[in-house]
């Protein structure tokens, strides 16, 4: 029979576990599919209800020899040192599936698990519209701000996650990618063999791509072909056009003006290669950057000078604000909820906010939209966005 002292100790441990948020927590892994109930629509944004998740990493050679706490404090910044101490003590951080002391020295190749309350960044609340559903291919219109597949802090707030949660469509294999801020046609294969066929055609140069962009200024009437290398800087998250042939990677884009109202132009963009931010950088290079592209609009262009850039930028911001107001009005009727709909975790450094720290900004979609992909015997299209009309 347990002693009174032992029972008291057990009760104390249970209270400590409760205070740390352990108790009845159900930990999720990548094997847990997104559910429709995972999403909260609030202030014109699609949020993911925070959930408990196991992040797994294996000790790299350069990590070996460090204490478990120092390893996390040095390699996974963003949380205070005291958090990692508490996380190790209560088992939120484990090594090879076991609790360890804060002084534990990690060894190469060991499995490290970090159990935490995961908050995903919000995205714009537009639906992922299904364009065509075939036996082996699914095409959708991707909303701006939504990543295609899990990456970084996004897992459920992705096109693939939303399609699985709201339409039961899985597995899906994206055969090309669109940057998170870009909207438009996205092609997904419904089996691995079909995905491989598409990728082979893309790699062989048999697939043609078309995008629409809304740019600053009156774009020239004659077709423009930009054949300028692009150099991507991963640390800065942006690309630059390189006039020197030895720098960057070869890139070529064909541009054709669709229409202009004297202030902006709608331009058809046909990338021949597929470099990071290729269309955005090549448009900036010509002197006609995308009108709401905060990353490239504010920098000096290396080609033709553009008049009224400042005024056009202000007009772009104003248009974005109006679009956001309309969007929020439309979404207001969609099950508006607050952070009361999720469990507050006492150890979480993001709670009680719904979004993680650093994602409280008002993010807008880029005026760049994929409208068509075509290959041997097939063609898929997406409707034009509202901003493509200059009337």
Q: In the chain, where does the domain assigned CATH 3.10.290.10 lie?
A: 22-118
- How far is residue 187's CA from residue 179's CA, in Å, rounded to a whole number? 14
Tell the CATH topology of 22-118.
Answer: 3.10.290
pLDDT digits (tens, 9 = 90+) for 177-195: 899 999 999 999 999 999 9
pTM for the complete prediction? 0.81
- Indicate the helix (H) or strand (E) that contains 111: strand 111-118
Between strands 45-48 and 368-375, the pairing is unpaired
Q: Residue 318: pLDDT above 50? A: no
Only one residue has tokens 């409208």, namely 371
Only one residue has tokens 């060991």, namely 110
Task: Work out the average pLDDT over 59-81.
Answer: 93
Give the strand order in the sheet containing 39-42.
39-42, 45-48, 123-124
Active site residue 70: no
Instruction: Say how many CA atoms lie within 13 Å of 364 toward its Cβ.
Output: 20
What is the dotted CATH code of the domain comprising 126-326+367-388? Answer: 3.30.2350.10
- How far is residue 196's CA from residue 216's CA, in Å, rounded to a whole number? 38
Active site residue: 96, 179, 261, 360, which one?
A: 179
Running DSSP on this structure, what letter comes out for residue 343? P
Q: Residue 197: pLDDT above 70? A: yes
- How far is residue 129's CA from residue 293's CA, in Å, rounded to a whole number? 24
pLDDT digits (tens, 9 = 90+) for 265-274: 999 999 999 9
Judge contact between 346 and 21, C-beta under 8 A.
Answer: yes
Instruction: Say how many CA atoms lie within 13 Å of 15 toward its Cβ.
Output: 6
């Amino acid at each position: 029979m347990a002693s009174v002292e032992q029972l008291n100790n057990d009760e104390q441990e249970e209270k400590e576990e409760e205070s740390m948020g352990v108790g009845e927590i159900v930990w999720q892994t990548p094997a847990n599919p997104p559910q429709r109930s995972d999403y909260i629509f609030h202030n014109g944004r699609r949020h993911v209800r925070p959930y408990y998740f196991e992040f797994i990493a294996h000790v790299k050679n350069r990590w070996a020899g460090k204490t478990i706490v120092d390893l996390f404090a040095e390699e996974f910044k963003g949380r205070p040192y005291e958090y990692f101490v508490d996380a190790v003590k209560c088992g939120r951080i484990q090594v090879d599936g076991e609790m360890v002391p804060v002084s534990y020295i990690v060894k190469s190749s060991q499995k490290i698990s970090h159990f935490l309350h995961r908050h995903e960044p919000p995205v714009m609340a537009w639906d992922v519209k299904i364009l065509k559903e075939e036996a082996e291919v699914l095409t959708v219109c991707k909303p701006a701000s939504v990543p295609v597949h899990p990456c970084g802090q996004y897992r459920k707030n992705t096109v693939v996650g939303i399609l699985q949660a709201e339409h039961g469509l899985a597995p899906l294999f994206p055969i090309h990618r669109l940057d998170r801020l870009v909207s438009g046609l996205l092609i997904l294969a419904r089996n691995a063999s079909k995905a491989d066929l598409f990728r082979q055609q893309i790699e062989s140069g048999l697939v043609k791509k078309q995008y629409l962009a809304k740019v600053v200024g009156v774009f020239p009437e004659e077709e423009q072909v930009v054949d300028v290398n692009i150099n991507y800087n991963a640390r800065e998250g942006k690309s630059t056009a390189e006039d020197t042939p030895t720098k960057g990677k070869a890139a070529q884009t064909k541009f054709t003006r669709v229409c202009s109202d004297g202030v902006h132009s709608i331009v058809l963009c046909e990338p021949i290669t597929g470099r990071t931010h290729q269309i955005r950088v090549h448009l900036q290079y010509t002197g006609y950057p995308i009108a709401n592209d905060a990353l490239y609009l504010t920098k000096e262009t290396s080609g033709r000078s553009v008049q009224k850039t400042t005024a056009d930028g202000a007009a772009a911001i104003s248009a974005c604000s109006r679009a956001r107001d309309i969007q929020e009005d439309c979404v207001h009727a969609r099950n508006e909820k607050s952070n009361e709909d999720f469990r507050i975790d006492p150890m979480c450094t993001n709670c009680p906010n719904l979004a993680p720290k650093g994602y409280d900004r008002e993010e807008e979609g880029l005026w760049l939209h994929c409208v068509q992909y075509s290959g041997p015997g097939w063609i898929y299209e997406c409707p034009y966005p509202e901003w493509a009309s200059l009337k």
